[in-house]
Every structure is written in structure tokens, then in C-alpha cells.
Structure 1
Amino acid sequence: MPKSKRDRAVTLSKTKKKGREHKENIVSSIRDAVEKYNSIYVFSFENMRNLKFKQFREQLKSTSRFFLGSNKVMQVALGRSESDEMRPGLHKVSKLLRGDSGLCLTNMPVEEAQRIFNEYEDYDYARTGSIATETVELKEGPLDQFTHEMEPFLRKQGMPVRLNKGVVELVGDFVVCEEGNPVSPEASRILRLMEMKMATFKLNLICRWSPEDFEMYQEGLQGSDIESS
């Protein structure tokens, strides 16, 4: 009788969970970086694209160090209150690590860092669930941008299409997505086929800390908010 697959031994030696040791290493790395760099920035991000962020980080690796991950772990590294902060004022930075945010520790001049972050934008295709930035509607008639081989795929995406003498034809008006509404999986595929990039990957500076001062960048975040959070 052949041996059951359920009886096969599975080795776990190559699988490691990111536990306490991993978190302690991050805390240690952040604290080492605090001693090495002149300024610390908190930034938020929109429509994160890992590859594009890696490229951005690589461009600045000679002057800067970036940290993304658990906000709580980064908060522990900096200190969450005046009593346990690593350097004076760092608890204010810690309290601004919320949601989609990260740390940039750098030796760049302030003006250069602000310029690089403010000017950075990269466009990509909208993913499922992202919010459409415009309404895209296709009118009834031939769709010359699609080849006849794509007709079955387009039908699977819910588009009312047919082949007419080898040309893909829309038999009725079709709304791909509506501005302000989430992009469906089907709409995401259609927009990619149409080469319509609707997602903007951006990095927004929230604050800057240095041993000399602390500066807020985003409106609506006041000192009282930091202290009460």
C-alpha cells in the first residue's frame, strides 16, 4: 500500500517566526541610528509600492536609514513618554507613528530632505479596493485598443462585448469604475489593459526632530494632539 501523504514528516527548521528577538533587533537598530544621524523624520505613505520604495531608499542609502513595520516597535525604540524617551523630545516623534507611517533618519540638510520628499511621486495601476480617482466609461462601439484574442477575457470581466468581423465591439456603454468608489478586481484588470495608471505612490512628511528643535509639517496636528494621544 502506498504511503499516505499525511504521514510525511515536515521539517520546521527553515521556518522562523518574527518573534521577540526580531523585535529587539529592530529596536537596537533604530537606537543605533538615532546616535548616527542628525535628523529624524516621520512620514506617511499613500499607495505603497514595495519595489518603488526600495528604489527610493537605495537612492538615499549614503545619507539616510529608513524603518517601516510595527509602529509599536518603533515607538518603543524611541520612547513613548518623557520618562523613557531615548533623547529629549523623541516621545513627540513616537506619538506620530500612526497608521501607514515610517521613520527616516538622515544626515541630509533640512531643505534637501524636504525637497526630495515633497517632489517624490510615482504612478502605478490601481489595485483592487483602492479608490478610483476618476470615472472611466467606455462608449458603445468598436474597441480598437483590444485585439480579437482578448474578447473572451473581456467578457469574463463583465464587459458586454462581441467580435464583429474580427474587431472587439462593445454592444452597450460600460462603466469601468466611478470616481470616489473602490476599484473592483475586474476594473483593476481592465484599467491595466488600458494602461491607465490611477494610483499615486507618495511620501508625506509629518514632522522632523533634531537635538535642537522639533517641527511639524502637516496641518491639523498640533502639540496638544501629540501630548493627549
Structure 2
Amino acid sequence: MPKSKRDRQVTLSKTKKKGREHKETIVNTIRQAAEDYSSAYVFSFENMRNHKFKEFREQLKSNSRFFLGSNKVMQIALGRSESDEIRPGLHKISKVLHGDAGLCFTNLPKEEVERLFNEYEEYDFARTGSISTEKVELKEGPLEQFSHEMEPFLRKQGMPVRLNKGVIELVSDFLVCDEGKPLSPESARILRLLGTKMASFRLHLICRWSPGDFEQYAPGPDDSGVESS
């Protein structure tokens, strides 16, 4: 009886025993998922928010399994060529596992997966260095949304403020951020205080694999040699 490719021993990078065992566990878990689920998808993400992704994953946990982490380990688990792939065609999705990407095994119909990923979008507060999606400017006058205890903190963020009869007052117009420009640490903090969410956490499907079928939705960072069948 031929030996299953899933049982093949794989040599990982030379690390401490605990780290190596952890990688081997991930490899074996991915290989088991490849046997247990009917299809696999590679997806990319932008503005990742761990708590939001956890919620999305929880919605699908009854019929799907997600993997994020070392792309190299995931590639090793799937196989990086026809000669070492664990199921026919899986090396094709291995080739597009680069950059900010993840792996999803699922038993859901193709149309349902496409709908879930395409419709998913969650907004959150932008972080330092993110590109501002709009211009935010505060006009001179009272800032009644802030309590008087906030005045020293706002001043440290560069805002021209003062206390006037217990009310924080902006003594001149203040530009928090300009559209298309990176956010400074101070701008990011002020936007959070204002409740302004500029970061859009989204998931994008790159490709799909199922036995005997491969479909590429979008070009990956390096999709050379990947062909649809």
C-alpha cells in the first residue's frame, strides 16, 4: 500500500526542539485539514484587527478552519511542487502564500465563501502611519465633548487649548489630519478621542482549490507558474 504524502517526514529549519515541534504540529494540522475539508482558499487582508478576525472565524468554525502565521510553514505543509504536494493541485495555492496572507479550509459552497469574504468589512480606529482617508479639522471654540481633566492631555497632542470657566476651548482652528497623508501618533490619538474610524479591515480572496479544480481570483505577490485548470 503506497505511503500517504501526509505522513511524509518534513525537515524544518534548525531551531530549538520546542519551536521545531510547534512547527511540525502546525504542518500536521494543516495536512489533516486538507484531508477533512472539501476546498481551500488563500486570502489576503488589509488593516488586520485580531479581535475582528476572531469574530469572523468564530462565525465559520462549524464548517471551516483558518490558518495565519508563517507562510513558509504553510507552504511546506501543502507542498511547494507537484512532487511533494499532499493532494493534487495544492502546490498551486502554496505558490501564492506570500505577504499578508492566510489559508482557509472549508466545506461551504463556493458561492457562500465568495459572498462572505466579499461582503466583509469592519471599521476601526486608524493607527500611527496609516493613510488618512479624509481631512479632519476642528474649529476654534469650545470642545464640550471633552471634560476639563482632558485639557493637559490635549495640549500634549499639540492642540492649542485652554480652560475657560471649566470648559476646554480651542483658541484657533486645528488641523488633526489631512487626506492622503500618514497619521502621526498625535493625530491617531485625537481621532480615537473623537470617535473617528478610518481603518477598514477587509479580507480578499486570492485563489480557490478543490479536488481537480483551481481558480485564481486576484494576482498574488508572486503567482508565476500558477495556472488555472
Using the size of structure 1 for normalisation, the TM-score is 0.87
Q: Which letter maps to 1:112?
A: E
In structure 2, the partner of 1:161 is: 161
Q: Which letter maps to 1:100?
A: D
After superposition, the C-alpha distances for 1:162-195 in whole angstroms (9 at most, x for unaligned) are 1122221112221111222222211111111100
CA distance in 2, matches of 1:120, 1:67: 18
- The secondary structure found in structure 1 opposite 2:104 is strand
In structure 1, the partner of 2:31 is: 31
CA distance in 1, matches of 2:96, 2:18: 24
In structure 2, the partner of 1:139 is: 139
Q: Which of 202, 225, 228 is equivalent to 1:227?
A: 225
State whether structure 2 residue 101 is matched by structure 1 residue 101: yes
In structure 1, the partner of 2:56 is: 56
Asked whether the equivalents of residues 89 and 212 of structure 2 are also in contact (C-alpha less than 8 Å), the reply is no
In structure 2, the partner of 1:176 is: 176
Q: Could you say if the C-alpha distance between residues 205 and 18 of structure 1 is closer, same or farther in structure 2, counting changes exceeding 3 Å?
A: farther
Q: Which letter maps to 1:226?
A: S
CA-CA distance at 1:225 after TM superposition: 3.5
Asked whether the equivalents of residues 78 and 94 of structure 1 are also in contact (C-alpha less than 8 Å), the reply is yes
- The secondary structure found in structure 1 opposite 2:175 is strand
- The secondary structure found in structure 2 opposite 1:227 is coil
CA-CA distance at 1:40 after TM superposition: 0.3
Using the size of structure 2 for normalisation, the TM-score is 0.87
Asked whether the equivalents of residues 80 and 91 of structure 1 are also in contact (C-alpha less than 8 Å), the reply is yes
Q: Which runs of 4+ in 1 moved over 6 A?
A: none
Asked whether the equivalents of residues 143 and 168 of structure 2 are also in contact (C-alpha less than 8 Å), the reply is yes
CA distance in 1, matches of 2:202, 2:80: 27
After superposition, the C-alpha distances for 1:145-169 in whole angstroms (9 at most, x for unaligned) are 2222211110011111111222211
- The secondary structure found in structure 1 opposite 2:111 is helix
CA distance in 2, matches of 1:165, 1:107: 63
In structure 1, the partner of 2:110 is: 110
CA distance in 1, matches of 2:150, 2:64: 46
User: What is the RMSD of the two structures over their aligned residues, measured on CA atoms?
Assistant: 1.9
In structure 1, the partner of 2:213 is: 213
Q: Report the number of matched residues.
A: 211
Asked whether the equivalents of residues 39 and 209 of structure 2 are also in contact (C-alpha less than 8 Å), the reply is yes
Which stretch of structure 1 is more off in the superposition, 168-177 or 35-44? 168-177
The gaps in structure 1 that reach 5 residues or longer are 1-15
After superposition, the C-alpha distances for 1:201-225 in whole angstroms (9 at most, x for unaligned) are 111111100012111112x459x94
- The secondary structure found in structure 2 opposite 1:42 is strand
The gaps in structure 2 that reach 5 residues or longer are 1-15
Asked whether the equivalents of residues 132 and 182 of structure 2 are also in contact (C-alpha less than 8 Å), the reply is yes
CA distance in 2, matches of 1:161, 1:84: 65
Asked whether the equivalents of residues 92 and 226 of structure 1 are also in contact (C-alpha less than 8 Å), the reply is no
Asked whether the equivalents of residues 42 and 96 of structure 1 are also in contact (C-alpha less than 8 Å), the reply is yes
Which stretch of structure 1 is more off in the superposition, 24-33 or 127-136? 127-136
After superposition, the C-alpha distances for 1:109-136 in whole angstroms (9 at most, x for unaligned) are 0111111111111111111222211121
CA distance in 2, matches of 1:158, 1:221: 41
CA distance in 1, matches of 2:124, 2:18: 30
CA distance in 2, matches of 1:18, 1:140: 59
Which stretch of structure 1 is more off in the superposition, 83-92 or 28-37? 83-92
CA distance in 2, matches of 1:216, 1:75: 17
CA-CA distance at 1:32 after TM superposition: 0.3
- The secondary structure found in structure 2 opposite 1:81 is coil
Q: Which letter maps to 2:164?
A: N
